[in-house]
Structure 1
């Protein structure tokens, strides 16, 4: 799966990425300006263009996780997971009984505002994607235990925060990072967990895909637009 992070408030950007054939979009509420009303429109734009909508919330916050899923998102991505206990709390917030204890409201967009059959809604809701994001030393130290937690679908490694925790901020191609990413990939593979990460160059994206990272977020929508505009200006004025 290939996707893009989104930090725009314009749902047309979201729809355009779906029309371009992207598999998923990560609607960023951690580092982006997306509030809940905009989020509903973004999710709708992703749906009409046949793209999976994932919401990155600010952290292990049961209300934020539930609100994102209530908005009809196809999944939720939870950053800054450092321990197995935090991973379990994220699962608990994102799943209904018997897997978790997500807050229940049937009259939300995800349940077709109360018109979806109850049993069908609760069953389908527990099949939404849950991505846990590990991006610091604590998460790496506790990785073996985090990988043993049941109830989530993808382990996402945040390379920029991870590089900072290693004392090499921004150097995501540093040999230390290469070694660590390989180690994480091997451990996840042994536990049968799918892997995700971020790349901001085509070369890096291809390398990570060949390494077994199946959920690959490429750059950010606003930056992609900026880079394309810069290239156009440069080529016209050569």
Structure 2
């Protein structure tokens, strides 16, 4: 799957992108300003073109994770997982009993505002996918224990935060950063979990796809739009 991060507050832009054939959009609350009311409209917009909706919450917080799923989003992505305890907390927040302890409300958008039969909603909700981001030394040191857990589907390697944690901020192509990503990728692939990351150049999409990454986020919607505008200007 290939998709993009999103920082827009315009659901029309989200809908337009949904017709592109991209697999997903990640609505970013960690490094974005979009609120849940807007994101709920974004989630509706993705359905117009059959695109998967993902919310990256601001932090590993029980309420934020549950509320993100309440919008009807297909996946939730949790940043900065540094320990097996933090991974367990994210899973607990994302799943209903018996898989977790997510707060129960059967009258949210995800339950069609209460019109979906309650047991059906609760069962189906537990099939929604959870993405955990590992992006630092502590997470690397805990990766074996994290990967032993059930309840999450994708392990996302954050290259920029990882580069900073290793002492090379922003240098995602530094040999030490590349080596760390390869070590993590090998461990993830051995478990059968889906491997994800972020890239910001076209050649890296192909490179990481060849390395077994199946969930690749490419750049950011507003940056892509700005870049296209620059390209138009250069023609004059």
- TM interval, short-chain normalised: over 0.9
Q: CA deviation at 1:120?
A: 1.2
Q: Distance in 1 between matches of 2:111 and 2:120?
A: 9
Q: CA deviation at 1:202?
A: 0.5
Partner of 1:83: 83
Q: CA deviation at 1:164?
A: 0.5
Residue 187 of structure 1 pairs with residue 187 of structure 2: yes
Residue 93 of structure 1 pairs with residue 93 of structure 2: yes
Partner of 1:71: 71
Moved over 3 A (4+): none
Q: How does 1:38-187 map to 2 (within 5 A)?
A: 38-187=38-187
SS at match of 2:5: strand
SS at match of 2:182: helix
Residue 228 of structure 1 pairs with residue 228 of structure 2: yes
Partner of 1:36: 36
TM score, norm. by length of structure 2: 0.98
> Cα deviation per residue 1:179-229 (whole Å; 9 max; x = unaligned)?
111111111111221100000000112111110110000000000001111
Residue 197 of structure 1 pairs with residue 167 of structure 2: no
Residue 6 of structure 1 pairs with residue 10 of structure 2: no
Question: CA RMSD for the aligned pairs?
Answer: 0.8
SS at match of 1:85: helix
Aligned length: 236
Q: Distance in 2 between matches of 1:209 and 1:12?
A: 30
Q: CA deviation at 1:59?
A: 1.3
Partner of 1:213: 213
> Cα deviation per residue 1:81-105 (whole Å; 9 max; x = unaligned)?
0000100000000000000000000
Unaligned segments of structure 1, at least 5 residues? none
Unaligned segments of structure 2, at least 5 residues? none
Q: Return 174-183 or 207-216, whichever deviates more.
A: 174-183
Q: Distance in 2 between matches of 1:187 and 1:115?
A: 42
Q: Distance in 1 between matches of 2:78 and 2:189?
A: 21
SS at match of 1:58: coil
TM score, norm. by length of structure 1: 0.97
Q: Distance in 2 between matches of 1:214 and 1:142?
A: 22
Q: Distance in 2 between matches of 1:129 and 1:18?
A: 19
